[in-house]
Amino acid sequence: MDRIRIVGGNALNGIIPISGAKNAALPLMIASLLTSDTLTLENVPHLADVEGLIRILGNHGVDIAVNGRREHQDGSYSRTVHFTCRTVADTTAPYELVSKMRASFWVIGPLLAREGQARVSLPGGCAIGTRPVDLFIEGLTALGAEMEIDGGYINAKAPKGGLIGARYTFPKVSVGATHVMLMAASLARGTTVIGNAAREPEVVDLANCLNAMGAKISGAGTSTITIEGVTSLSGARHRVLPDRIETGTYAMAVAMTGGDVTLSGTDITLLDTAIEAIRRAGAEVSAVEGGIRVIGHGDQIRPVDIVTEPFPGFPTDLQAQFMGLMTRANGVSHVTETIFENRFMHVQELARLGAKITLSGQTARIEGVTRLRGAPVMATDLRASVSLVIGGLAAEGETMVSRVYHLDRGFERLEEKLTRCGAIVERISD
């Protein structure tokens, strides 16, 4: 099993290219099930989750063709992937595939809309909370689907003639359920109005792609989305938006270690709340042509309190990284997690580096320390694992991060990107 070795203490300087967003690419890939034409996606990141979903889509009959890597002067590359589902080969998404990645559960929407039926295993993914599928079931039921849970699977069936447009308001914001409703309602008869919809940029990206395929969606990016159903969708060509979580992660790494880094190929407007928190912590962050420039000041980090909230609030996917930054702040900060009930598993591992963190319910109190010391640590989930990398970059001595397969799910070529900016990071394969 691979590990990552980090020797901390070096400031980061240079350019870090930002990859396409995993959280946007996955629903966009699943949207290929909605049409018999080819959906071409540009800027698709090379990640374990993407490769896993490619295998799952292949099980449903999607043919996938990947263009060669296109090298750029800054060393980054993006993949263009063509997805073609002439006919759906299988409407069952089996446990052995879905249990490995929660997002694969989302195939239930397109399968139900296009084929009128779906049998999908209850999902897996990171162990950061229960994340029930109730919202998915309620939303699809509102469109006329008959839903039954049996033997760990959801058996879904559309009424004769297909799904029917309806008004439905989510009792709580859910990005995944909003994705599924957008895809399912695009082929429903009549108009669907979704209330309390997720407003994340990845939802907007999916809506833009679906509209390019012939859907009629308005209001994406607001809490009310309207979808006028169409009889069929065509192919399209769409570029995956930049990864705002990767952007924020590297910005926090620079803020913690010091240095001057340009994050290329990204957009500062994708994460206003997180950028404001990083600025309050003492880093300089500014929009530049083609990206974002971050200047960190190392030992001058200021304490900042944050609360995770649905977009446009502070992203839960950056909570662990920000907590890592706060371990070196000059004072006491507080991090409150409101999205997932079990997303503080990184606390004990950060403590191994010398962090002083105490938990009270869903709030962590972080007392900044003057220095961190390298130590062996273990990744517990995707975002927690990269918080340990950030801690290791600022720690004295060597940090060894094990179970890095979590990192490979969401961070493309992390070691290479950091090494090119002066960090000492290497992957060790046992």
**What pTM was estimated for this model as a whole?**
0.94
Question: Which are the catalytic amino acids?
Answer: 126
Output helix, strand, coil percentages for the chain, rounded to the nearest 5.
Answer: 35, 30, 40
Cβ-based burial of 68 (10 A; exposed 0-12, middle 13-18, buried ≥19):
exposed
Q: Name the token pair of 94.
A: 């089996």
Q: Name the token pair of 184.
A: 């399912």
Residue 116 pLDDT:
97
Please name which of 107, 111, 62, 113 lies closest in space to residue 230, comparing C-alpha atoms.
113
* Identical fold between 3-18+242-428 and 22-231: yes
pLDDT by residue for the chain (430 residues), tens digit each?
A: 789 999 999 999 999 999 999 999 999 999 999 999 999 999 999 999 999 999 999 999 999 999 855 444 444 457 999 999 999 999 999 988 888 788 889 999 999 999 999 999 987 543 334 446 889 999 999 999 999 988 889 999 999 999 999 999 999 999 999 999 999 999 999 999 999 999 999 999 999 999 999 999 999 999 999 999 999 999 999 999 999 999 999 999 999 999 999 999 999 999 999 999 999 999 999 999 999 999 999 889 999 999 999 999 999 999 999 999 999 999 999 999 998 776 788 999 999 999 999 999 999 999 999 999 999 999 887 777 899 999 999 999 999 999 888 888 889 999 999 999 999 999 998 7
Q: Name the token pair of 134.
A: 């109730």
Please name which of 260, 267, 304 lies closest in space to residue 282, comparing C-alpha atoms.
304
Strand partners, 192: 227
User: For strand 117-121 and strand 92-93, is the pairing parallel, antiparallel, or unpaired?
Assistant: parallel
Domain boundaries, given as residue ranges, for the chain: 3-18+242-428, 22-231
Please name which of 386, 324, 383 lies closest in space to residue 351, comparing C-alpha atoms.
324
Residue 96 pLDDT:
87
Alpha-carbon span 238 to 42, nearest angstrom: 6
Map tokens 């990947």 to a residue: 66
Alpha-carbon span 222 to 229, nearest angstrom: 19
Answer for the pair 265, 291: CB distance below 8 angstroms, yes or no.
Answer: yes
**CB half-sphere exposure, 220, CA atoms < 13 A:** 23
Annotated binding residues for phosphoenolpyruvate: 22-23
Q: Kindly list the distances between the CA atom of residue 262 and the CA atoms of 13, 17, 110, 418, 419, in Å, as whole numbers in the listed order.
A: 8, 8, 39, 12, 14
What kind of fold does domain 22-231 have according to CATH? UDP-n-acetylglucosamine1-carboxyvinyl-transferase; Chain (3.65.10)
**CB half-sphere exposure, 415, CA atoms < 13 A:** 15
Map tokens 């990171």 to a residue: 126
Residue 406 pLDDT:
84
Annotated binding residues for UDP-N-acetyl-alpha-D-glucosamine: 102, 131-135, 172-175, 317, 339
> 1-13 in b/e burial notation, b at 16+ Cβ within 10 A?
eebbbbbbbbbbb
Annotated binding residues: 22-23, 102, 131-135, 172-175, 317, 339
Q: Name the token pair of 415.
A: 């070691």
Answer for the pair 27, 108: CB distance below 8 angstroms, yes or no.
Answer: no
What is the architecture of the domain spanning 3-18+242-428?
Answer: Alpha-beta prism (3.65)
Answer for the pair 30, 72: CB distance below 8 angstroms, yes or no.
Answer: no
